[in-house]
Structure 1
Amino acid sequence: MKKTRKKKKSKWSIFLKPIKIILYTFLAVMVLGCLAGGAVFLKYQKEILACKEKAESIMSKTSKSDFSQPTDTRIYDSSGTLIGTINSGHYEYVPIAEINESLQNAYIAQEDRRFYKHHGIDYIGLLRAGLVYVKNKGTITQGGSTITQQVIKNTYLSQERTFQRKLTEFFAAPQMEKKYSKPEILEFYCNTNYYANRCYGVSEASRYYFDKEAKDLTIWEAATLAGISNNPSKYDPVAHPETSQKKRNQIISNMALRKLITEEESTFAKEQPLTVAKIYEPGMKENYQTSYAIHSTTLELMKNDGFVFKYVFNNKTAYDAYKEQYQEVYQTKSDMIRKGGFEIHTSLDTNIQNLLQSNIDERLKKFKDVQENGKLALQGAAVCIDNRTGYVVAIVGGRGTDDEYNRGFLSKRQPGSTIKPLIDYAPAFESGFYYPSRLVNDNLFDKGPKNSGGKYFGPISVREALNRSLNTVAWQVLADIGVDKGIAYLGKMRFIGLSYMDNGNTSMSIGGFTEGARVVDMAKGYAVLANKGMYSNKSCITSIKSQYDGEVYNQNQADDRIFTEDTAYMVTDVLKGTLDKPYGTGAGLGLNVPAAGKTGTTNSNKDTWFCGYTKYYTTAIWVGYDTPKAMPGVYGKTYSGRIWHDFMAEINKDLPAMDWDMPATVSLSNVDSIGEKTTSETGRKDLFSSIAEAAARSDSSKWQQEEERKKLDSQSQKNLESAQASKMAADQAAAAISATIAELNGLQYRDSTTDDKINTARKLLEQLVGTEYYDGLKPQLESAINHAMSLPKKEESTTKPQEIGPGMTKPVETTTPVFPGDMDPGGVGQPDGSPGGFDYGPVQEEPGM
């Protein structure tokens, strides 16, 4: 048997053997890896495909705006002055050219040393992370993510360390690298990192920690920021300065190791003490101007999304459903604004705002009681609108400037009589069946309201009833035109405080709302009267710029016609009387320019108002307690009216005294005794609208009813005038008889005139048959006659007068002696001192009818 001969090993075989082992091992690992990968894929196929699909969806929709945080929302007044900042971290996006190269190098050295070489995935880093993952039995304890992957995580994914998130990053990163350049991705990274202490993005972090811009960072400052963003809670230099410095120095060493800085620079940077400036600019506290601006901006954003606003509701179901929908959308938009990213320009005039605030504070300064929450108990709120533009120029939500609760648009209060022009009289004038001179019977009705002071005037014109603020008349007017019709007009004027429970509620006529009215809504409602019946859709917003979408405010919002120009003019003309009529509830509050307005006081004086306007401005004022309670002696004319007067006098003082132009379709016509238009000259005139009359005529059935009413009223007035004339004649006759009785009883003798007086008195007494005077005067007169007839008769001279000159005579003395007391002192005359005899005179028309 032959011996097997061993092959002689060459020196190359010794050298190649380890390589073969490594290759075989690598191939084995690769095979096993493929097998394991296949197994994993088969097991988690759905999850993997889902992650891939998610990554594709993300990258298909990505845009550069995704990689920036919202900036602070800033609010400006009408002059462009910043009046409010809603702090979202003072974020500012900076381009890569304005980020110091030291920070870029720090991130590359620490986070992704092969950043400029890979295409989104660092497979070596990923392999290292995978081995650790296996070692820790499925628990992810370290990354391996590239800067590209971290940008995706920061922007689109959660911070949780899960397999699904890592896999989504894995699929998305290569796609991002195809879409964006390396500098752009590094720019996104610096602007999306969080640096602790509410610092989002490198710009705010640079200002907060080092009081400088990102382009001016030193090596050690850049290394500090890179360390913070690696783990903000752990490496925060404010909370953990030692840990932060250690991390900083580690990053500096890595920068030197990667030849990104020199050893000298590294040594110098490490020697620098870790000092931070902590320069933090807090957001401004919300004030009355900014809170209303945010509210108005919220509504504009809702409009942009097509939200349909509703104000009048048929039932509880519709009301509740709308309120829920509104609140959800409103909150979303409001939160969006407060998170930042908006620049809001307003019409709010800070000078006018300060004047209005100071007037409220000054007038109410003596009321010093406070609530349990520390706020002043008695409060005031006001809104001023520039009628020339339709914009709100001032809104005061309370006394002082420390109270953030803005009662100008947040609080709903009972409006009292200030609602009457808007819900009662203007809609009634629109119908054509009511006009300033129309008479309405002012009486206390069963289940009706009472007039303030308990006084009732009977038939009274609408004009005077509104100036006197008579509740019974307003109540009748709204009941006649229909409560829901009046409410519909408030809905057209965007009144927020309307409820389904108000439908058919006649107490709405005098301000009896279920919820109440806002001050801003009252101001905008009165501005409709000031602006020829047009409602302005403007609030206080003149521009809204989004950080991402540019200008998003529609400035071309057309005004809405609410009332005809005729109605607005006639109501305005009537409301002037509130200020200039002696019986007007706002008498004494007139201005140096034509003005109109209305007072309002609720039950027990719990809410007091004054709403009024000139050609230039409309202002609504409310005074009351946050928790309503009685305010004895406080009325709409007192505090609210005085605040209105003082404020409006100041802002109108340098303006021309412009009045409202009477429309061509309004006429000043003669008015008869029942307040109706007549061609006869009566000496009294008032306003009538041909447009309103045409509207009334179009309702043929009601027009006929009104014509019948006018006939009845005319006949009733004639009967009343006849009765008044008869009463006056009876009063005069009774007075004449009483004077005659007194005269007869005072005689000491009778003469030739005595019989004439007796006959006249008896004729007058016959006229009083059937009156309240007859039975009382008859026996008195008979007794007086008997007395007179029992007296001696005085003898009179028959001697002719002696002529003493051409056309002149001299009286001749009688032969009958004159006894003391015979002459009636002062002669026989009337009680008012007029000469003897009785003049019935013409029947006088009662003033004011």
Structure 2
Amino acid sequence: MIRLLKFFGWSIVAVFCGLLLGLSGAFLYLSPGLPSVEALRSIQLQIPLRVYSSDNKLIAEFGEMRRTPIRFADIPPNFINALLSAEDDNFANHYGVDPSSLMRAATQLVKSGHIQSGGSTITMQVAKNFFLTSERSFSRKTTEILLALQIERQLTKDEILELYVNKIYLGNRAYGIEAAAQVYYGKSIRDVSLAQMAMIAGLPKAPSRFNPLANPTRSKERRDWILGRMYKLGKITEADYTTAINEPLNASYHVPTPEVNAPYVAEMARAEMVGRYGSDAYTEGFRVTTTVPSNLQEMANTAVHEGLMTYDQRHGYRGPESRLPGKTREAWTQELTKQRIISGLEPAIVTQVDKNGVQVLTRTGTGEEHIAWDTMKWARPFLNTNSMGANPKQPSDVAQVGDLIRVQRQPDGSLKFSQIPQAQGALVSLDPQNGAIRSLVGGFAFEQSNYNRAMQAKRQPGSSFKPFVYSAALDNGYTAASLVNDAPIVFVDEYLDKVWRPKNDTNTFLGPIRMREALYKSRNLVSIRLLQALGVDRTIDYISKFGFNKQDLPRNLSLALGTATLTPMEIATGWATFANGGYKITPYIIDKIESRNGDTLFVANPPSVPKGTVASDGIAMPASDTFTVNATPGEAPSAQPAPQTPAVAERIVDGRTTYILNSMLEDVIKLGTGRRALALGRSDIAGKTGTTNESKDAWFSGYNADYVTTVWTGFDQPESLGKREFGGTVALPIWMNYMAAALKDKPPHTQAEPEGILSLRVDPISGRAATPSTPGAYFELFKAEDTPPSVNELSNGNAPGSPLPADEAAPIDLF
């Protein structure tokens, strides 16, 4: 008997020694290839790129992984208890490896012949998740065990748990418990209930199998089992257990909801970040703050949406998107699930038509809803761009059962009959003092088209381009009082055998006309004559200083009529020079970039108008302290950027020129094609309409010293907006809607009068300085060196100091 006991004793010692030697050998064999556990302390988890408005509201999130790391101190104790009850209830007592769990896994393998569980502790899962693959092999398991032992020696239990809960995949692109709480419940892990914590704690074992969205029954079974374990282990009371077990499984899919609707802005920021950091932009947890305030962006969204809807309905109803008569309710519901909401316009199917309106089925699933007849009366049949059918007399004239239509939900919850506009639009608003983009809309709906028309659509600006030609004239000796002949002109190309007879929009000619009047009346012939006198090449050289590419400016006289191909952003950038007193600015969208740890990596330092240059109301322009850092693409900077001296914008136009031109563009609002804008009741706005041939493009650009805003409208495939549509009827209302909201409660703010400006009385007939007895004389602004001579000076020849020869002071007839 004693010999038998000795035999078993020595056998146990031998087995133990064998295991010890085996583990030692495995350690010696594998240790050279084991990663450094110390790297876990500085591990960089993948965190998505987040883009914010200037007032810190979320615009968008980019990245394959949804993750928001959380510190151990912020994890609710009940969640830790739920997790340990589900995954590793002996976590506090073992040293990285739980022999009993390994033996249980080994027993299951022997009995079934298949690996059913790995017997892994949370520490072993950390080792696998951070350092190893998911391969099922004995060598990988041995490496996992050795790493777990090292991790336990070098990290605390709290550190291990923090790494685990932030790394694990929990389904639906959610990595980490904070992201999972947001995805399934739309709130932080700190705010979910005990039952919801148990549900999340049950996901690591098999995120797809126990997913509450894909498999709610299995998910509830797993949740209830974990709650039972927590109660059995004494982690919760019986009352807590009863309440939690009876809570329904109320998970639903929540995506990060943008607080600001600015998809075109978000895409611009994303593209710039990828240009700076490469693919790391999506994973390094950058926080990007844009230059766009949320309130201005929402104003721009509303203005473009309402403007295009108004234009569209003005041209009639094109009919339903499709017709599904005779289908079952189930078929209609299925069809609705295939349709997207476009800029707030919901899909709906007409289920009943009566004298008071129509009943429709929507995607909300709340049953049928009513559309009142009053909201349908606009829907005259669309025949073509210039004509419509008769006014509808009853709902059945507009809709039939089975029609797939669009509806717009009103603030009170009621529905309005609508349709998706075919015409498109773009709006870009800049701070003319430094180029900061304050709002940008690239189309009617980003869901409909990702094409950013504000940045990418090169279209002809029409008459909104004329101020650049007038600026060139004012900088080359012409004045606002210069007389130019508004008379017919014919150009013959002897090589192409072509004749060009440019004309004014009204087909009328006014003869000699002051430049100021010619601009606010948008006389085409005057612009052409000015360009011809200045010279095309010389004028292009001048205009290109505003930031335009010379290749986009045609080298012929049609340039005066706005036949260049330019984007709304380029036009707004050029117009900013008029608004800021002659300085060139560069648009920018990213104001600040921060790292995952909150370190500032970049702060924009845009070339800005010198302090105090524009402020007629006594408000000095701020010279903000800015910082910048040069980042190597693909490499995230780690140090705080050093302070830099604020950059000063380059002056490209005489400030007196922009001051005089500004007064001329103010007259476009007071007396010309922009008169509708008088409804804003402001004295500090200036602007110009633009309409191209056949009304294929309609523009309005305008500004005060706070914002310069350009609006374009047209079709993606150029076609006429209609023979009665112009920049003043389509684009200007959008501009007014936006600027009215943007400038609300702001005091007047325009350019201060620079030195070297004189105001003189002028003879309206001759354009010369008026005498006290001259009838109808008016005051005009001049540069000191460009004042016109008086009649008396001309009668004595070229008087000393007269800026113009006698033969040039007469009304200008260039041809």
* Structure 2 equivalent of residue 321 of structure 1: none
For residues 690 and 500 of structure 1, the distance between their equivalents in structure 2, rounded to whole angstroms, comes to 36
Q: Label 1:360 to 1:534 Cα distance change in 2 as closer, same or farther (>3 A).
A: farther
* Structure 2 equivalent of residue 761 of structure 1: none
- Of residues 250, 272, 277, the one that matches 2:250 is 277
2:722 is equivalent to residue 665 of structure 1: no
For residues 656 and 110 of structure 2, the distance between their equivalents in structure 1, rounded to whole angstroms, comes to 85
For residues 417 and 121 of structure 1, the distance between their equivalents in structure 2, rounded to whole angstroms, comes to 76
Structure 1 range deviating more: 157-166 or 275-284: 157-166
Question: Shift of the alpha carbon at 1:526?
Answer: 2.1
Q: Deviations over 1:157-196 (max 9, x none)?
A: 6555578976775676556545542112213322333333
Higher helix share: 1
2:303 is equivalent to residue 356 of structure 1: yes
For residues 271 and 296 of structure 1, the distance between their equivalents in structure 2, rounded to whole angstroms, comes to 46
Question: Shift of the alpha carbon at 1:387?
Answer: 5.9
- Of residues 395, 409, 416, the one that matches 2:454 is 409
- After the TM superposition, which residues 686-835 of structure 1 pair with which residues of structure 2 at under 5 Å, given as runs? 689=783
- After the TM superposition, which residues 515-526 of structure 1 pair with which residues of structure 2 at under 5 Å, given as runs? 516-518=566-568, 520-526=569-575
2:156 is equivalent to residue 184 of structure 1: no
Partner secondary structure for residue 668 of structure 2: helix
2:578 is equivalent to residue 578 of structure 1: no
For residues 24 and 658 of structure 1, the distance between their equivalents in structure 2, rounded to whole angstroms, comes to 93
Q: Deviations over 1:613-650 (max 9, x none)?
A: 23454332322223220232322233334554576567
Q: Label 1:29 to 1:609 Cα distance change in 2 as closer, same or farther (>3 A).
A: closer
* Structure 1 equivalent of residue 3 of structure 2: 13
* Structure 2 equivalent of residue 822 of structure 1: none
* Structure 2 equivalent of residue 839 of structure 1: none
Kept after mapping to 2: 8 A contact 1:382/1:396: yes
For residues 434 and 482 of structure 2, the distance between their equivalents in structure 1, rounded to whole angstroms, comes to 34
Question: Shift of the alpha carbon at 1:376?
Answer: 0.8
Q: Label 1:544 to 1:254 Cα distance change in 2 as closer, same or farther (>3 A).
A: same
Kept after mapping to 1: 8 A contact 2:300/2:439: yes
2:673 is equivalent to residue 621 of structure 1: no
Kept after mapping to 2: 8 A contact 1:347/1:392: no
Partner secondary structure for residue 232 of structure 1: coil
- Of residues 292, 300, 314, the one that matches 1:366 is 314
For residues 35 and 179 of structure 1, the distance between their equivalents in structure 2, rounded to whole angstroms, comes to 22
Question: Shift of the alpha carbon at 1:652?
Answer: 6.0
Question: Shift of the alpha carbon at 1:262?
Answer: 8.1
Q: Deviations over 1:782-829 (max 9, x none)?
A: xxxxxxxxxxxxxxxxxxxxxxxxxxxxxxxxxxxxxxxxxxxxxxxx
For residues 196 and 677 of structure 2, the distance between their equivalents in structure 1, rounded to whole angstroms, comes to 66
- Of residues 215, 227, 234, the one that matches 1:261 is 234
Q: Label 1:264 to 1:400 Cα distance change in 2 as closer, same or farther (>3 A).
A: closer
Higher strand share: 2
Question: Structure 2 unaligned runs (5+)?
Answer: 322-341, 343-418, 494-499, 609-648, 788-797
Kept after mapping to 2: 8 A contact 1:76/1:346: yes
Question: Shift of the alpha carbon at 1:500?
Answer: 5.4
Kept after mapping to 1: 8 A contact 2:437/2:589: yes
Kept after mapping to 2: 8 A contact 1:390/1:538: yes
* Structure 2 equivalent of residue 450 of structure 1: 502
Kept after mapping to 2: 8 A contact 1:444/1:456: no
Partner secondary structure for residue 694 of structure 2: helix
Q: Label 1:677 to 1:212 Cα distance change in 2 as closer, same or farther (>3 A).
A: closer
Kept after mapping to 1: 8 A contact 2:230/2:236: no
* Structure 2 equivalent of residue 637 of structure 1: 728
Q: Deviations over 1:275-317 (max 9, x none)?
A: 3111544444797x422442454477579x4x9xxxxxxxxxx
Kept after mapping to 2: 8 A contact 1:345/1:544: no
One-letter code aligned to 1:191 = N
For residues 25 and 58 of structure 2, the distance between their equivalents in structure 1, rounded to whole angstroms, comes to 66
Q: Label 1:482 to 1:261 Cα distance change in 2 as closer, same or farther (>3 A).
A: same
One-letter code aligned to 1:527 = A
Q: Label 1:540 to 1:216 Cα distance change in 2 as closer, same or farther (>3 A).
A: closer
Query: Which structure is richer in relative contact order (CA contacts within 8 A, separation 6 or more)?
Result: 2
Question: Shift of the alpha carbon at 1:611?
Answer: 1.3
* Structure 1 equivalent of residue 334 of structure 2: none
Question: Shift of the alpha carbon at 1:414?
Answer: 1.5
Q: Deviations over 1:63-92 (max 9, x none)?
A: 37x358559x575576x7x58565989865
- Aligned CA RMSD, in angstroms, stands at 5.7
* Structure 2 equivalent of residue 290 of structure 1: 262
Question: Structure 1 unaligned runs (5+)?
Answer: 1-10, 308-328, 492-497, 694-706, 722-844
Question: Shift of the alpha carbon at 1:606?
Answer: 0.3
Q: Label 1:365 to 1:500 Cα distance change in 2 as closer, same or farther (>3 A).
A: same
Kept after mapping to 2: 8 A contact 1:253/1:266: no
Question: Shift of the alpha carbon at 1:660?
Answer: 3.7
One-letter code aligned to 2:502 = K
Question: Shift of the alpha carbon at 1:133?
Answer: 9.3
- After the TM superposition, which residues 523-672 of structure 1 pair with which residues of structure 2 at under 5 Å, given as runs? 523-535=572-584, 547-550=596-599, 554=603, 557-559=606-608, 560-561=649-650, 562-580=652-670, 584-586=672-674, 590=678, 592-630=682-720, 631-644=722-735, 660-668=751-759
Question: Shift of the alpha carbon at 1:20?
Answer: 2.7
- Of residues 184, 195, 203, the one that matches 1:228 is 203
For residues 589 and 103 of structure 2, the distance between their equivalents in structure 1, rounded to whole angstroms, comes to 59
- After the TM superposition, which residues 102-141 of structure 1 pair with which residues of structure 2 at under 5 Å, given as runs? 102-112=78-88, 115-117=91-93, 120=96
For residues 210 and 575 of structure 1, the distance between their equivalents in structure 2, rounded to whole angstroms, comes to 55
- After the TM superposition, which residues 299-314 of structure 1 pair with which residues of structure 2 at under 5 Å, given as runs? 301=273, 305=276
For residues 413 and 687 of structure 1, the distance between their equivalents in structure 2, rounded to whole angstroms, comes to 35
One-letter code aligned to 1:416 = P
Kept after mapping to 2: 8 A contact 1:115/1:147: yes
Question: Shift of the alpha carbon at 1:13?
Answer: 2.6
- Of residues 63, 66, 77, the one that matches 2:42 is 63
TM-score by length of 1: 0.60
Question: Shift of the alpha carbon at 1:361?
Answer: 4.3
* Structure 2 equivalent of residue 473 of structure 1: 529
Kept after mapping to 2: 8 A contact 1:194/1:200: yes
Partner secondary structure for residue 701 of structure 2: strand
Kept after mapping to 2: 8 A contact 1:621/1:643: yes
Identity rate of aligned residues, in percent? Answer: 25
For residues 812 and 45 of structure 2, the distance between their equivalents in structure 1, rounded to whole angstroms, comes to 82
Question: Shift of the alpha carbon at 1:231?
Answer: 0.8
Kept after mapping to 1: 8 A contact 2:712/2:731: yes
Partner secondary structure for residue 612 of structure 1: strand
One-letter code aligned to 2:72 = I
Kept after mapping to 2: 8 A contact 1:206/1:213: yes
Kept after mapping to 1: 8 A contact 2:427/2:440: yes
Q: Label 1:99 to 1:384 Cα distance change in 2 as closer, same or farther (>3 A).
A: closer
Kept after mapping to 2: 8 A contact 1:103/1:226: yes
Q: Deviations over 1:440-460 (max 9, x none)?
A: 787443457834456678887
One-letter code aligned to 2:42 = S
Q: Which has the larger radius of gyration?
A: 1
Partner secondary structure for residue 228 of structure 1: coil
Q: Deviations over 1:441-494 (max 9, x none)?
A: 874434578344566788876555544342523653461425355334225xxx
Q: Label 1:398 to 1:418 Cα distance change in 2 as closer, same or farther (>3 A).
A: same
Partner secondary structure for residue 709 of structure 2: strand
Kept after mapping to 1: 8 A contact 2:554/2:563: no
- After the TM superposition, which residues 324-403 of structure 1 pair with which residues of structure 2 at under 5 Å, given as runs? 333=281, 346-349=292-295, 352-353=299-300, 356-357=303-304, 358=306, 361-362=309-310, 365-369=313-317, 375-385=420-430, 393-397=438-442
